[in-house]
Structure 1
Amino acid sequence: MPEETDRSPLGPLPAEPVSGRSVLLGPPPEKGLSSEDVAERVAGGRTNDVPVRASRSVGQIIRGNVFTRINAMIAVLFSVIAVIGPVQDGLFALVIVINTLIGIVQELRAKRTLDKLAIVNAARPRVVRDGATVRVATQEIVLDEVLEVGVGDQVVVDGVVTWAGGLEVDESLLTGEADPVLKQPGDTVMSGSFVVAGAGRFRATKVGRHAYAARLAEEASRFSLVRSELRSGINTILTWITYALFPIGALLVYSQLFMNGQVALDQADSGGVPGPLADALRGMVAALVSMIPEGLILLTSIAFAVGVIRLGRHRCLVQELPAIEGLARVDVVCTDKTGTLTEVGMKLAEIRDLGGSSESPTLVLAALAASDPDPNPSMAAIAEGCAAGGREAPDWTVTALAPFSSARKWSGASLLTPSGEGHWVLGAADVLAEPDSPAAAEAARLGAQGLRVLLLARASVRVDDEFAPGTVEPVSLVVLDQRVREDARPTLDYFADQGVDVKIVSGDHAASVGAVGRELGLPGADRPMDARDLPEEPERMAREVERRSAFGRVTPERKRDMVRGLRDRGHTVAMTGDGVNDVLALKEADIGVAMGSGSPASRSVAQLVLLDNRFAVLPRVVAEGRRVIGNIERVASLFLTKTVYTMTLAIIVGLLAVAYPFFPRHATLINAVTFGIPSFFLALAPNTDIARPGFVLRTLRLAIPSGLVAGLAAVTTYLLVLGGRTVPDPADRTAVVITLCATTLWVLLLVAKPYVWWKVALVGTMVGLLTLAMVTPWGRWFFDLDVSDPAKVLTGLAVAGVAIAVITVIRVVDDRMTSRAAA
């Protein structure tokens, strides 16, 4: 991508001698690397060749869908049928091929969506080349590059500082040390850290995989399903099933070979290999194919992939796939105020003169705005307001500069004015002024109206002094108007309806935060709390945070502690923010959500990025997470019901030494019309259920009773129609097929609640397909079915009716017990 010229915020400022020492307020003129230097380093491979955060490669997607544990099981069973035949009994392998192709196609679609959004979200650092500041892709940085950073920028390569203007770097993501580190020329900066105050330049000393955080960043950027309760639960279930396959398969083969339980096969019609061993192997394959939940892993991958695509349509970049699962479990959303609930830009509404200065407050503010090398939104609004009022910045020399810091809540400059050197600070009134002063009281009153109020004051010492600001003298109140986003209130209403608590955590005055919360109808916003008054003891602090909903004067470290406290109390927390002061909390939260216009540091640590900066997208994001997880749990219950009834049937048949009632083709028919085809539609259906922990136990609680009843019903029908024989005929097998299909279709109806027209139509279509297979000549031949004996057909339906009644009673009792426990 070509370089973009960029007007650097770090324009050079003059150096003036003050008190015998020179204070350099801007970066010295620097050419940086020339185009020839860059080309030479690129040719030599000395580039920052770290992959961007992206999805899996095409090869990884194909391998991940083809070489799975379930496909390996199916391949082994198909190899048995390929040798002994007939071809109809190998139909189950075709289903797996189709499933795998669908999974690959859906993941490739998700990959295209992610890659496009990742390009939009990618940071483009500023570098100095040929004497100009330009923006380049992170991968285009070369060794010895001069990079320029300001507040919110992430350090993307290791380097040595060449110029620092109050540069403070947070290295907590690398070292765990919470306090920002003041950097001076000659100090090192590490990739993965980010700027919290000031500005600076540094020369790249290590790039690519040699940089400090490169390996960590590359691993963290993998598009994977790791650290997922859902994924680990499914793997646990598959492990149990794998262990069960071997003894059940051995039991079936042994019983049918040595206990006279042989399947009779008409070789003239089938073309399969004859003999007791071949018949026993067919019965074993039929049982084991049904035990394997072949569609579970596939539908899990598809549900996640479709979730990524749907979120991508709303310009939401999923940087870590487990975030979709986490979204479904969120019960607390912590959000910043400025830029999230309110519009990004602000407007200078009023400058209220408090006296205390011979210079005009407006003139001083214009000078402060002009002296700030990297203005934040508040300072930018002041600069625009002064310019609009015809107040140009005076030509005052800046002798010292203190950039804004979220931790200390103020910025300032020492200025050489016509009346002498003055030291000015601008920041939170309740931080700079005495709590009982008129200035603090008036600021609180204005803040209660939802306005942002800053205090301009004279300091008693230079702003770069270690004891700054010293004693301050209030000069004026600066009132900034910030508009609430139109879509903020509907968003908060949605969360309230869904049982999700919203907490506003902001660095603004608590009264201002409470005013915005009240305007949005947030419960509890009428009692905002100053975060400085929170208890220091973690447990007490967590209880207080849990109880309230609006917090002001929250430092970055306190935000992190508040999120951690909520998590310690069992909540699943999503944190939304856009600034460098949100980075620690974004990293601490279960789900970090950053705004696309936010700082590169906040976007880099978040699992989700809202590229359109719309807080209103968040309900769709949460709803998508719930849809994905709720539907996967629903589908898992279906597939495990199939596994349980097959195990029940196989074990009883093996112990009774009768032939297994099915060929593999029967298992394929039953699996397709009862659970296989319907599960594809259910996996993508709407679902607003709140995801809860305990996926495995909850799924088995539903699947085991239904599977046991269905399996016992199939055995009952089988024994009734056999009438004392050990070898079934096609009519006997058909009766068992009818019992299993009717019973499991009822289970499908129970799982598919709530009912809508398409779900009823789906079940009706499956009944129609089953009926076609039984009544058409081709269907009867292909699946070896016989419905010519009405007594056996009625037996299968009657037993199914009893099983349906039992399953319904079990489900009603279970639902009542669950509701009573929840209450």
Structure 2
Amino acid sequence: GMLQEAEQKKIPLNTQLEKLGKWIGIGVIFLCAVVFIATYLKGGNFLETALFSIALAVAAVPEGLPAIATISFALGVQKMAKKHALIRKLPSVETLGSTTVICTDKTGTLTMNEMTVRKIYCPSEIIDVGGIGYSGEGSFSSKPNGIEMLLKAGMLCNNAALQGQTAIGDPTEAALIVSAMKSGLRREDIEKEFPRTNEIPFSSERKMMTTLHRDGKSTTAFSKGSPETILQKCTKTLYRGRIRPLTRVEKNEIMKINESFAKDALRVLAFAFKPVTQKDSAEKEMIFIGLQAMIDPPRMEAREALLKCEDAGIRVVMITGDQLLTAEAIAREIGIKGKAVSGEELEKMNEKELLSASKEVNIYARVSPEHKLRIITALKKAGNIVAMTGDGINDAPALKKADIGIAVGSGTDVAKEASDMVLVNDNFATIVGAVEEGRAIYDNIRKFSAFLLSCNLAEVLIVFIAVMLGMPLPFIAIQILWINLVTDSFPALAMGVDSAGKGIMKKKPRNPKEHIVSGSVAASIIALAIIVTAITLLVYSRFESKTLAFTLLVALELLVPAIIRIGYRAYSLNIWLAGACLLSFALQLAVIYTPLSKVFDTVAPGLQEWGIIAASCIALLVTGIAAEVLIRKSKERAAA
């Protein structure tokens, strides 16, 4: 039911690019028709003029855009896989770049997921436990009567196992085995003495689990769960080895101790037992044994990643099954600020209250999968693009509902199926890395769109203006097609694998409704097209040499990628791009200096011509870079 409510998503960018191509196509056909009519009326040969106009139309339409975009996505996905993020659905690469909120589980993602019991409460006494990890070495500050029963309960009501020093199963349960081992208990002996006969499994609704064991001729039930759940089911307590009634005052006392543990970022479990005759009565009127509290140390990288998110204008929301105080303590330690809300408080809110709460709450505790779905829905309603992590079967609906569902590698297959991305190493820092990569890919697509569109626009403008001014056509049909083939394809592909520009994670997330050719991109396309057109036409009107105009335009277009990259603060050398431009230029030299020149109707340019080309290139670099910097500055001012 919950899964059906969450719907499918499609690649918005490619539809944008296809639409863009369509509009450009219409505009270009119109201009080419004008060029054809004007040239023909001036007495041009019908067939030649028609051929030229068609060639111009073919050259001017950026048919490669969606294809290169898809290649960029695919290469980006490969890059992310090397950094432990597996993208399952291509559109999510683009969405990652505009993420405004990351909802993350605490355990394993923000923390190490290596539990160690630090404190134990045996009625009337708090005991410190030494040692870290799963080694089984460590001592107790004291061993009151009754601690053995508590440790036994932790070891028996348990489905994890230890292999050497690695936990198999739930790390929380592994920590309980280790704490019992520290007092000299051996699992094999205890399981022989109390063989398990039945189990009432844990669920996030029940918040407890119970196992039944044969104890000589009778049966004993052992339970563990959240302190509030277990205490509700207890009527007696094991006090220094004797069973006696559990008073209201003692219950409050135990909850106070639970709170003090939780404030130290410890995760607290309560334990109880009961001699039983049948399974149905196992969880009623139990005997309270004590508490075990464990720490799950935060990941060091999580802190840095959180700072990066803050710079990048991304909110991080922590969602956890832990109790409120534990959640707040860990959030403080890692650096998540904001209000905290528990599942109970969430239950009482209606949609409207949750919507306003979701704007300031960054910590949700004791959360069930249904709550996750409600939190995501509220955040999306507030206009956020939400990425969300999950691991359990029950997380699937929330993962589907999120703009980007992120399954952790250690999670269930169901969660992975519902997700857009899988974190192989469960690490929060990996998500932030993926967001950065998503932003870089989107920038790259913008870069080569600006490159292709400004060059294509320049080609059409040069011809159109020349015809309007009554000059002879600056190129022949085959030259126009060649420019399109040589200068456009290789450099555009190489721009698709460009590295991220400086400060890419210092910008706010982009608005997903914003068009790929937004204001600043359009400004840059128009500015560069006008500069290239002006330089080419000035030179052509002075020297009226077709070969010069042809080679000059190729040279100028090969400089455009470098200028565009400066607008994105991408100052590092892109080897692929440099190689692509050199290759294109070498091909151009082949056309003018080898027998191919007959086909292309070119004459080998002399020194003077090369001097003019060099001067023109310098003029383009100076004016182009100035234009890019101005556009970037005004964009940054508008953003601020």
User: Which one-letter code corresponds to 2:420 in the other structure?
Assistant: Q
Shift of 1:347: 3.8
Shift of 1:772: 4.0
Pick the aligned partner of 1:702 from 506, 514, 524.
Answer: 524
The equivalences for 1:233-252 within 5 A come to 233-252=16-35
Residue by residue, what CA displacement relative to the aligned partner does 1:704-734 show, whole Å, maximum 9, x if unpaired? 343345445545655x348xxxxxxxx4324
Distance in 2 (alpha carbons) for counterparts of 1:775 and 1:600: 60
Residue by residue, what CA displacement relative to the aligned partner does 1:19-67 show, whole Å, maximum 9, x if unpaired? xxxxxxxxxxxxxxxxxxxxxxxxxxxxxxxxxxxxxxxxxxxxxxxxx
Match of 2:321 in 1: 507
> Which range moved further: 705-714 or 349-358?
349-358
Residue by residue, what CA displacement relative to the aligned partner does 1:149-177 show, whole Å, maximum 9, x if unpaired? xxxxxxxxxxxxxxxxxxxxxx521478x
User: Which one-letter code corresponds to 1:406 in the other structure?
Assistant: S
Residue 116 of structure 2 corresponds to residue 300 of structure 1: no
> Which range moved further: 281-290 or 704-713?
704-713
Assess if the C-alpha contact under 8 Å between 1:338 and 1:344 holds in 2.
Answer: yes
- TM-score under structure 2 length normalisation: 0.76
Shift of 1:598: 1.4
Distance in 1 (alpha carbons) for counterparts of 2:622 and 2:5: 62
Q: 1:792 to 1:281 in 2, by over 3 A?
A: farther
User: 2:634 aligns to what SS in structure 1?
Assistant: helix
Match of 1:130 in 2: none
Residue by residue, what CA displacement relative to the aligned partner does 1:480-512 show, whole Å, maximum 9, x if unpaired? 342333543343344344443322211011222
Q: Aligned-residue CA RMSD in angstroms?
A: 4.3
Pick the aligned partner of 2:578 from 742, 747, 762.
Answer: 762
Assess if the C-alpha contact under 8 Å between 1:245 and 1:288 holds in 2.
Answer: yes
Match of 2:342 in 1: 530
User: Which one-letter code corresponds to 2:225 in the other structure?
Assistant: G
Match of 1:610 in 2: 423
Residue by residue, what CA displacement relative to the aligned partner does 1:747-773 show, whole Å, maximum 9, x if unpaired? 433311135363599398489649846
Pick the aligned partner of 1:685 from 483, 488, 498.
Answer: 498
Assess if the C-alpha contact under 8 Å between 2:38 and 2:467 holds in 1.
Answer: yes
Distance in 1 (alpha carbons) for counterparts of 2:153 and 2:618: 86
Match of 1:492 in 2: 306
Match of 1:102 in 2: none
User: Which one-letter code corresponds to 2:578 in the other structure?
Assistant: L
Match of 1:575 in 2: 388
Residue by residue, what CA displacement relative to the aligned partner does 1:748-802 show, whole Å, maximum 9, x if unpaired? 3331113536359939848964984697465755543457699998888888888
Q: 1:790 to 1:595 in 2, by over 3 A?
A: closer
Pick the aligned partner of 2:14 from 231, 238, 262.
Answer: 231
Distance in 1 (alpha carbons) for counterparts of 2:302 and 2:354: 27
Shift of 1:664: 3.4
- TM-score under structure 1 length normalisation: 0.61
Assess if the C-alpha contact under 8 Å between 1:340 and 1:577 holds in 2.
Answer: no
User: Which one-letter code corresponds to 2:525 in the other structure?
Assistant: A
User: Which one-letter code corresponds to 1:686 in the other structure?
Assistant: S
Assess if the C-alpha contact under 8 Å between 1:251 and 1:654 holds in 2.
Answer: no
Shift of 1:736: 3.5
Distance in 2 (alpha carbons) for counterparts of 1:803 and 1:685: 22
The equivalences for 1:448-487 within 5 A come to 448-457=263-272, 474-487=288-301
User: 1:559 aligns to what SS in structure 2?
Assistant: helix
The equivalences for 1:651-730 within 5 A come to 651-653=464-466, 659-671=472-484, 674-688=487-501, 689=504, 691-693=510-512, 694-698=514-518, 699-711=521-533, 714-715=536-537, 718=540, 720-721=541-542
Shift of 1:458: 6.2
Q: 1:464 to 1:670 in 2, by over 3 A?
A: farther
Match of 2:172 in 1: 378
Distance in 2 (alpha carbons) for counterparts of 1:683 and 1:464: 63
Q: 1:403 to 1:282 in 2, by over 3 A?
A: same
Residue 132 of structure 2 corresponds to residue 320 of structure 1: no
User: Which one-letter code corresponds to 1:815 in the other structure?
Assistant: R
> Which range moved further: 641-650 or 353-362?
353-362
Which structure's relative contact order is higher, taking Cα pairs within 8 Å and 6+ residues apart? 2
Match of 1:191 in 2: none
> Which range moved further: 309-318 or 650-659?
650-659
Shift of 1:656: 5.7
Distance in 1 (alpha carbons) for counterparts of 2:82 and 2:454: 35
Assess if the C-alpha contact under 8 Å between 1:717 and 1:796 holds in 2.
Answer: no
Distance in 1 (alpha carbons) for counterparts of 2:216 and 2:150: 15
Q: 1:400 to 1:762 in 2, by over 3 A?
A: closer
Residue 118 of structure 2 corresponds to residue 288 of structure 1: no
> How many residue pairs get matched?
579
Match of 1:330 in 2: 99
Match of 1:410 in 2: 208
Residue 477 of structure 2 corresponds to residue 639 of structure 1: no
Distance in 1 (alpha carbons) for counterparts of 2:147 and 2:570: 75
User: Which one-letter code corresponds to 1:429 in the other structure?
Assistant: P
Match of 2:549 in 1: 736
Assess if the C-alpha contact under 8 Å between 2:490 and 2:584 holds in 1.
Answer: no
User: Which one-letter code corresponds to 1:378 in the other structure?
Assistant: T
User: Which one-letter code corresponds to 2:185 in the other structure?
Assistant: G
Distance in 1 (alpha carbons) for counterparts of 2:298 and 2:323: 16
Shift of 1:456: 1.9
User: Which one-letter code corresponds to 1:453 in the other structure?
Assistant: V
Distance in 1 (alpha carbons) for counterparts of 2:342 and 2:275: 27
Distance in 2 (alpha carbons) for counterparts of 1:643 and 1:751: 15
Pick the aligned partner of 1:516 from 303, 307, 330.
Answer: 330
Q: 1:798 to 1:358 in 2, by over 3 A?
A: closer
Match of 1:438 in 2: 253
Residue by residue, what CA displacement relative to the aligned partner does 1:344-370 show, whole Å, maximum 9, x if unpaired? 443444542227999933344444337
Shift of 1:556: 1.2
The equivalences for 1:554-633 within 5 A come to 554-633=367-446
Match of 1:181 in 2: none
Distance in 2 (alpha carbons) for counterparts of 1:639 and 1:379: 58
Distance in 2 (alpha carbons) for counterparts of 1:678 and 1:311: 23
Distance in 1 (alpha carbons) for counterparts of 2:542 and 2:633: 37
The equivalences for 1:167-182 within 5 A come to 171-174=1-4
Shift of 1:563: 2.2
Q: 1:738 to 1:402 in 2, by over 3 A?
A: same
User: 2:545 aligns to what SS in structure 1?
Assistant: helix
Match of 1:256 in 2: 39
User: Which one-letter code corresponds to 1:762 in the other structure?
Assistant: A
User: 1:756 aligns to what SS in structure 2?
Assistant: coil
Residue 179 of structure 2 corresponds to residue 362 of structure 1: no
Distance in 1 (alpha carbons) for counterparts of 2:628 and 2:278: 71
> Which range moved further: 342-351 or 604-613?
342-351
Match of 2:634 in 1: 817
Distance in 2 (alpha carbons) for counterparts of 1:609 and 1:660: 56
**Gaps (5+ residues) in structure 1?**
1-170, 177-215, 221-225, 263-275, 723-730
User: 2:157 aligns to what SS in structure 1?
Assistant: helix
Distance in 2 (alpha carbons) for counterparts of 1:306 and 1:569: 33
User: 1:450 aligns to what SS in structure 2?
Assistant: coil
Q: 1:463 to 1:579 in 2, by over 3 A?
A: farther
Shift of 1:431: 4.6
Distance in 1 (alpha carbons) for counterparts of 2:511 and 2:556: 28
Shift of 1:437: 1.6
> Which range moved further: 319-328 or 417-426?
417-426
User: Which one-letter code corresponds to 2:296 in the other structure?
Assistant: Q
Q: 1:537 to 1:422 in 2, by over 3 A?
A: same
Q: 1:172 to 1:548 in 2, by over 3 A?
A: closer
